Structure 1
Amino acid sequence: MFGLFLYVCFTYQPCQYEPQGWVYPDQANCQADIREQKLPPQYKCLPVEAILPASKI
């Protein structure tokens, strides 16, 4: 599963990803949505599992 994230970097701070609230079954669908919405290059498709840590039970 892939999510659409806004990649935000600030000077002298580590970069952060801000989720945009959309989850896609694969990268192709995520990239298609970026093209359809004509989003700027700061938007990235990233695996949800790599960004959102699993909670420890």
Structure 2
Amino acid sequence: TMNKVDCGDRSRAQWTHELDKLIVEIMCENMTHEKKTGGGFDETSWNKILCEFNNRANLNYDKE
């Protein structure tokens, strides 16, 4: 399960092994489909990856 830790005025995600695997899986799925800049994903691609991650993990995280 995903827990959040209070860090002052913000809460911070505690990543699990399962969430690590999920984000890597989604990134790999998008490697050939998305635009990359300088060897990395562009902002539009990161937004799609984040949206897919939130959908699959039933979370509501942002890039902050």
TM-score, structure 1 length as denominator? Answer: 0.30
- Report which of the two has the higher share of helix: 2
Which has the higher Rg, Structure 1 or Structure 2? 2
- Report which of the two has the higher share of strand: 1
TM-score, structure 2 length as denominator? Answer: 0.29
